Amino acid sequence: MLAEDTIKKYEMIHRGDRIIVAVSGGPDSVCLLHILFKLKERYDLTLFVAHVNHQLRGLQAEEDMRFVRDMAEDLGLPFYVKVEDVAKVASDLHMTLEQAGRYVRYSFFRELKKQLNADKIAVAHNMDDQAETVLLHLLRGSGMHGLTGMSPVSGDIIRPLIESKRQDIEAYIKENGLKYRIDHTNYEANYTRNRIRLELIPYLKEHFNKRITDAIAQTAEILREEDNYIQKKVQEAYEKICSESRDIVQIDLKEFIELEPAIKRRLIKKAIQAVKGHDLNIEFKHINYIMDFAQRGRTGERIDIPGNVCVGLQYGKIKFFLSSSILAATDFSYNLIIPGETYIGELNARIYAAIEASVQLDFKDRYKAYLDYEKLPGDLVVRTRKNGDYIVPFGMQGRKKLKDYFIDAKIPFDMRNKIPLIASGNEIVWIVGHRINEKYKVTEKTRKFLVLSYEGGCSDV
């Protein structure tokens, strides 16, 4: 039977499995459901039919939904449906329609899997889909991992038809007299994937290799095995030089610099996935930007990349964290603990204060301040700005309104209330990451130094 060898080869199904079957109503998913239903008694399977209406094709989508519901009913299988405006999701999350559709589908399948205590999710990708995916990734400049295409088994996802050609699926459909729905948008050359299917692959078959889908599938399998080996090395490196805490990933900078570029790139992607949940919209240029930043950046510097991900260098560490939580921070005020550590929950940041008799001044780190401890007032706090705040900026003589300083420094308006300030009353002692107060600078007469260090948060202004 079609797909049975693939199921056995990759041990996709075990006796007693509870499987969610993703069914769009097209020939591939109808074929998949029919095959699994025929194996139901042999493996003592519990099957659930899941369908997603993307609301992109109007009445046709409604008819697809009814078709799949009726098919599930005829087989005596439970039917579950998700109706979602995928175009709106794509707009809201800044995704392509294809990305948004996949996001909605798999979110629904996994939600259903949890609800039904299912073991696996079966999807109907076939060998032709595999060839399209590999070519799509190749044209986009993907690395090795992208050229492995879709794995037969990927966590809880199984693809029983991944080694079956479309023509074999069509033959199975005909032989078993199965009905199915046609999505006419699959035959419109409006999307890159459709053009690959309708134009590029037929051209390659005609002019280069009649068995091009087999050749690409073979290449993907070879690369997948090699990629698995590299992924093991990446995981070993991640466990050795990376740490996770409070939605922050830290990588040891010295160890990272010594790694091979191939491992570096994958570690960066893995760190981004850990803080963001995925690496959508992260391109090769962004990865290289981070690699260059790690090589040439200075402690205290930070950069932003797509998806509200912030990358910073602090004290021998590369830190990855989301900047969105910082932008949403509310007003705060904490008494500054001297000496000691003051935690700012709203920013997920800390200020360390130490009193020293002598120090080696390092003015390259803008997130560290050196102050004359004996000149300072005794009621210091760390807080957000308030009306009436002022500072005597370092290097100047007269006081300046904090608002005017922000304007002159071209600090974006929406960031001004997120920058922590060390203050006494309305007088600002240190605008963290920017300027100290001239009145409290250290001189040759300074006998006690207050050293303040800021870590965490994301204030790249």
Residue 164 labelled as part of a binding site: no
With a CB cutoff of 8 Å and minimum separation 6, the contacts of 382 are 333, 334, 336, 342, 344, 351, 420, 421, 422, 423, 432
* Pair of tokens at residue 403: 């608002």
d(CA 402, CA 398): 12
Whole-number Cα distances in Å, 329 to 116, 315, 326, 416, 418: 38, 25, 5, 11, 7
333 is in an annotated binding site: no
Task: Report the 10 Å Cβ neighbour count for 218.
Answer: 11
Closest CA to 16 of 48, 45, 39: 45
> How many whole angstroms separate alpha carbon 217 and alpha carbon 284?
24
DSSP class of residue 119 equals S
Q: Residue 187 corresponds to which tokens in the numbers above?
A: 């035959």
**377 assigned ligand-binding residue:** no
Are 6 and 163 spatial neighbours (Cβ–Cβ below 8 Å)? yes
Amino acid at 135: L
| Cis amide linkage into residue 339, ω under 30° from 0 | yes
25 is known to lie in a ligand binding site = yes
24 a known binding residue?
A: yes
What residues are designated binding site? Answer: 24-29
Feature table: binding site for ATP: 24-29
